[in-house]
Amino acid sequence: MGLQIFGKAFKGDKVIWCIFIALCLVSLLAVFSSTSTIAYKQQSHWAPILRHGAFLLIGFAIVLFLQRIPTRFFSLLILGVPLSAILLVVTMFMGVDVNGAHRWIGVGSITIQPSEIAKICMIGYMAFFLSRMKPENESWIFKALIIAIAGICMLIAPENLSTACLLFTVCFLMMFIGQVSMKRLGKIVAVCAIGGVLLIGSVTLLPNSFVKDYMPDRFSTWKGRIERHSDKADEDKFKITDENFQESHAKIAIANGGIIGLPGSGVERDILPQAYSDFIFAIILEEMGLLGGLFVLMLYVSLMVRCGVLASKCEKKFPRYLILGAGLILTMQALLNMAVAVNLIPVTGQPLPLISRGGTSTIITCAYFGIILSCSSKFNDEDYHEDVDEEIANLDVEDYQ
């Protein structure tokens, strides 16, 4: 009886549910441990984790709601693309300034991050048009995709270049999976290669004075991050400055953790400014050790693998592309965050999906899981398989003539 109630309440793929719940539990532990600086400022030990727990509960309710929605209704996400574009424009001029970037819109005491809304809407947009692409309409669908991708990414890039690059990469992979012609994809690669060389060249080669005086403010931030990451001189290796403060203390946190970690005894959580967000994986490695870090990594890898399996079972293209798009953007964002924490790439500002402390990002991440579960629920439903078997058995050969 209990299993029947559980099965009715939790639709969709049970493996995805297990991954989702596991990430939520890790998130509660990691955020509770890494928000000591916020707890000190607010003079409340429980306020930060209660806030994060509230967002997780809201996200959980969203997952329960979305898992029961027929996948065809997710095509409405395409309407969110122009809306998110408007929000991004508003953010550029009226956004809340946090750490030198305007990425949030303040509505009273509530702030939202339009780039997160744009990401999930673009996944739905890509899935919708790719599912309807045929040889005879590939040309205009490709143009529709490129216009939307370029428009949204250019609006995100000035204040959040890493998010723009992440979204563009996922959209490109979806076009590749959706069998857009290699000639068209090749043109995109060529244009991006030229643009990337020009951007990196302008950021790294131009004098600091010129960048500060004549280039947008974020250019100097990008320039500093690239230079710090590429500077491997021995005399600066162990010198901690204001510029490399976060990267250096992330390395210290990882070194402190060892194999099994220091549960509840981490030191760097009180020092790292973004211990609960951008560098939460470093805190996980410090307090849960290498084994805990590998466990978190395997959760995201398992998510992508399972999404691939579920997509292969989908007969309809729209839910197939939705699953793949959601899985790709969650997994790639997680890998970016982890790569920053272990100093493989320059600082990007990407949170660890569902684990990092956040409002909009947590809720939107839960929405991705709800979409995946909705797309998987149909072919995981035993009644559905019985109905399909019955329909197949009753088919008349004349139906195919």
User: pLDDT tens across 215-270, in order?
Assistant: 555 555 655 566 565 665 444 556 776 667 777 888 888 888 888 878 877 788 87
Q: Give the range among 204-208, 294-298, 306-310, 345-349 with minimum mean pLDDT.
A: 204-208
Asked if residue 389 has pLDDT above 60, the reply is: no
Asked if residue 10 has pLDDT above 80, the reply is: no
Question: Per-residue confidence at 103, pLDDT binned at 50, 70, 90?
Answer: confident
Residue with tokens 């990008």: 222
H or E element that contains 3: helix 2-9
Number of domains in the chain: 1
Rounded mean pLDDT, 319-344: 92
What is the span of the domain harbouring residue 184? Answer: 2-389
Asked if residue 36 has pLDDT above 80, the reply is: no
Question: Per-residue confidence at 37, pLDDT binned at 50, 70, 90?
Answer: confident
At 353, list the tokens: 């999906």
Going 112 to 113 to 116 to 118, the CA torsion angle's sign is positive
pLDDT at residue number 143: 93
Cβ atoms within 10 Å of 304's Cβ, excluding its own: 17
Alpha-carbon distance of 354 to 144, in angstroms, equals 31
Residue 396 lies in a domain: no
Look up the pTM and report it: 0.85
Asked if residue 311 has pLDDT above 90, the reply is: yes
| Average pLDDT over all residues of the chain | 82
Taking alpha carbons only, the member of 213, 211, 233, 239 closest to residue 224 is 211
Residue 257 lies in a domain: yes
Cβ atoms within 10 Å of 185's Cβ, excluding its own: 14
Residue with tokens 């739905």: 124
Q: Give the range among 56-65, 154-163, 211-220, 276-285 with minimum mean pLDDT.
A: 211-220
Question: Per-residue confidence at 325, pLDDT binned at 50, 70, 90?
Answer: very high
Residue 137 lies in a domain: yes
Q: When comparing pLDDT for 24 and 249, which is higher?
A: 24
Residue 397 lies in a domain: no
pLDDT at residue number 99: 61
Q: Which residues contact 164 (CB under 8 A, 6 or more apart)?
A: 153, 154, 156, 157
Alpha-carbon distance of 249 to 61, in angstroms, equals 36
Residue with tokens 């992330």: 250
Residue 264 lies in a domain: yes
* Per-residue pLDDT tens over the stretch 26-35: 999 988 888 8
pLDDT at residue number 101: 63
Residue 398 lies in a domain: no
Asked if residue 295 has pLDDT above 80, the reply is: yes
Q: Find residue 101's DSSP bridge partners.
A: 98
Taking alpha carbons only, the member of 250, 248, 278, 277 closest to residue 266 is 250
pLDDT at residue number 8: 65
Residue 401 lies in a domain: no
Rounded mean pLDDT, 91-99: 75
Residue 311 lies in a domain: yes
pLDDT at residue number 269: 80
AA identity, residue 40 = Y
Q: When comparing pLDDT for 177 and 196, which is higher?
A: 177
pLDDT at residue number 364: 94
Question: Per-residue confidence at 304, pLDDT binned at 50, 70, 90?
Answer: very high
Measured between its terminal Cα atoms, the distance across the chain in Å is 46
Phi, psi of 382 (to 5 degrees): -60, -35
Taking alpha carbons only, the member of 351, 354, 360 closest to residue 106 is 360
Q: Which residues contact 40 (CB under 8 A, 6 or more apart)?
A: none
Q: Which residues contact 148 (CB under 8 A, 6 or more apart)?
A: 81, 122, 125
